Amino acid sequence: MYNQEDQISARKAGQPEMVVQSWMYANSIHVIDYLRMLGRGNIVSVHPIIRWTPENPKFVMAKITYDSGDVGIYEAVWNGPSPWAVTVTTQEKRWKLRPLEHALVQAYGSRNLETIPAHAWDTALKPGLRLQAQEAVKAIRGEEHNLPSLEEALKTMHIVEKIYSAA
């Protein structure tokens, strides 16, 4: 996750202070995208449980509620070990991505987490890179593609803003 070393590196790389202070947008947005992709329906509220304190970043937690009744919990541990992880739980199964490139599934009634095999592309290359490149080529050619639009990215950034609001 984001930590003070990231801030120091960004400053040393000559990033403006405004960029350094907004690092959560660049660093957290891909995980927060999962909240938008995996929750059913539209997000109706974002409620900070543990508020962001920029002067002393430690933990951030927020409850995201959807009009379908689904609930998502976003948790970030700053300045400590915490690999990216996403867990989705339904009545029948639990899926876990930890790290995000490694998928596991657990069936109801079982204590076993079974590995979901990765596609060969995702073991030969950075996971997701080839598929992302293929989608970018489609977009450039004017073909139908699955890349998010600027409008979609702005929706996610709005959620980041609500989660990381210090007020």
Predicted confidence at residue 7, as pLDDT, reads 62
| Residue position matching structure tokens 């339904």 | 90
| Per-residue pLDDT tens digits for 24-62 | 887 788 889 999 999 999 999 999 999 988 777 788 999
The two most distant CA atoms of the chain are separated, in Å, by 53
| Per-residue pLDDT tens digits for 61-117 | 999 999 999 999 999 888 777 678 899 999 999 999 988 888 999 999 999 999 999
CATH for 4-163 is 3.30.360.10
The domains of the chain are located at 4-163
How far, in Å, CA of 153 to CA of 116, rounded?
28
